């Protein structure tokens, strides 16, 4: 959501006697069955190098950890470090460690459970994310990031955007728990997401905001759907919500105060003092009350225009 979501392959590390093209060939064959941004990045790199992408069988996704499938007689996997740790696979390779320390996302290629190599990818923080976070903080809203990326990548993004806090290496099944953890601090939580993995967290939050270009599951789970895939719209919609609430309070106070004075006058309570309203004048005052409330509500359009133009000059 904060990044462009267009991962590009920056490095390929072949282990043992394998070569880079073989690593990409197997990884691209598997990832051609997935719609994940990392998968698209690997497939795109294979196409750029004119590496043929063959078919696979038995494809299955491991939520938040990677994917597995069969190519020929071998089971091939493209997985993250969490999966390796769960399987007890340790890769002691200086170059792989160096890529991880560079804030890159590293996935590993396995064949029958044995590591063949690693692929490093990098994503880019959206320029509009900076202005969106700055605006939200200006509004007094704490900004936190919830991601499945490793801590090094998460910290790099959090530092670049000056986030108040971040949670890294969070599995999809645990995202909702993190939302509840933040709510337990006494905070009202709005969650912004665009993927299937974000759906439980969107439901668990006080306000779920889905990006319009996201998955159907995320959209169905959200309270608000943003038409554009632009994080600045989050600040815009929250600003518009605050303006709407202010208008509602203003109109309630006006209607209450106006009627507190006008109804006794219309009822003739001041007739003994020689002051009374004719039916015609009373009708005018009654209409004026409605018109004033309507005009005040109409002024909300100015807030709508400001929200729509935020950050787009």
Q: Do domains 8-122 and 127-232 have the same CATH topology?
A: no
Confidence grade of residue 313 (pLDDT, cut at 50, 70, 90): very low
| 221 against 217, higher pLDDT | 221
CA 186 – CA 160 distance, rounded (Å): 27
pLDDT category, 311, cuts 50, 70, 90? Answer: very low
Q: Cα(87)–Cα(35) distance, rounded to whole angstroms?
A: 25
What is the CATH code of the structural domain delimited by 127-232? 3.40.50.1000
Q: Which residues pair with 124 in a beta bridge?
A: none
pTM to 2 decimal places: 0.66
In this prediction, residues 263-273 reach a mean pLDDT of 75
Q: Where are the beta strands (DSSP E) in 80-151?
A: 105-111, 114-122, 144-146
Q: Which of 63, 62, 20, 26 is nearest to 43 (CA)?
A: 26
49: phi > 0 → left, psi -120 to 50 → alpha, else beta; which?
alpha
The predicted pLDDT at position 49 comes to 93
Mean pLDDT (the chain, rounded): 85
Q: What tens digit of pLDDT does each residue of 190-219 get?
A: 999 877 778 889 999 999 998 876 567 667
**Among 179-183, 213-217, 282-286, which range has the highest average pLDDT?**
179-183
Give Cβ neighbours of residue 249 (< 8 Å, ≥ 6 apart).
none
How far apart are the C-alpha atoms of 204 and 50, rounded to whole Å? Answer: 44
Q: For residue 206, what pLDDT is reported? A: 94
- Domains of the chain, by residue range, sit at 8-122, 127-232, 235-309
Tokens (6 digits) for 208: 């779920």
The answer to whether residue 165 scores a pLDDT higher than 50 is: yes
Q: 8-122 maps to which CATH number?
A: 3.40.1110.10
User: Higher model confidence: residue 176 or residue 101?
Assistant: 176
pLDDT value at position 292? 86
- For residue 254 the two structure tokens come to 């006006």
- CA 229 to each of CA 125, 136, 225: distance values in angstroms, whole numbers, following the listed order: 14, 17, 10
pLDDT tens column, 46-77: 999 999 999 999 999 988 889 999 998 999 99
Binning pLDDT at 50, 70 and 90, where does residue 137 land?
Answer: very high
């Amino acid at each position: 959501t904060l990044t462009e979501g267009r991962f590009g392959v920056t490095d390929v590390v072949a282990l043992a006697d394998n070569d880079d093209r073989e690593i990409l060939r197997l990884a691209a064959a598997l990832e051609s069955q997935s719609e994940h941004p990392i998968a698209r990045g690997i497939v795109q790199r294979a196409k750029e190098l004119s590496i043929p992408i063959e078919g696979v069988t038995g494809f299955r996704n491991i939520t938040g950890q990677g994917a597995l499938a069969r190519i020929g007689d071998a089971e091939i996997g493209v997985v993250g470090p969490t999966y390796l740790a769960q399987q007890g696979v340790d890769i002691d390779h200086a170059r792989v460690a160096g890529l991880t320390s560079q804030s890159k996302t590293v996935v590993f290629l396995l064949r029958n459970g044995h590591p063949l190599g690693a692929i490093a990818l990098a994503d880019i923080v959206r320029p509009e994310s900076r202005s969106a976070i700055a605006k939200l903080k200006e509004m007094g809203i704490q900004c936190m990031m919830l991601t499945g990326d490793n801590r090094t990548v998460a910290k790099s993004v959090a530092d670049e955007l000056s986030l108040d806090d971040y949670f890294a290496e969070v599995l999809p099944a645990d995202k909702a728990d993190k939302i509840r953890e933040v709510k337990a601090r006494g905070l009202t939580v709005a969650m912004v997401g665009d993927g299937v993995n974000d759906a439980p967290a969107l439901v668990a939050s006080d306000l779920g905001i889905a990006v319009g270009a996201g998955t159907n599951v995320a959209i169905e789970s959200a309270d608000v759907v943003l038409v554009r895939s632009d994080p600045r719209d989050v600040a815009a919609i929250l600003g518009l919500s605050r303006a709407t609430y202010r208008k509602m309070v203003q109109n309630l106070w006006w209607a209450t105060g106006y009627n507190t004075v006008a109804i006794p006058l219309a009822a003739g309570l001041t007739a003994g003092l020689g002051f009374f309203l004719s039916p015609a004048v009373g009708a005018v005052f009654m209409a004026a009350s409605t018109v004033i409330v309507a005009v005040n509500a109409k002024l909300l359009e100015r807030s709508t225009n400001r929200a729509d133009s935020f950050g787009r000059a």
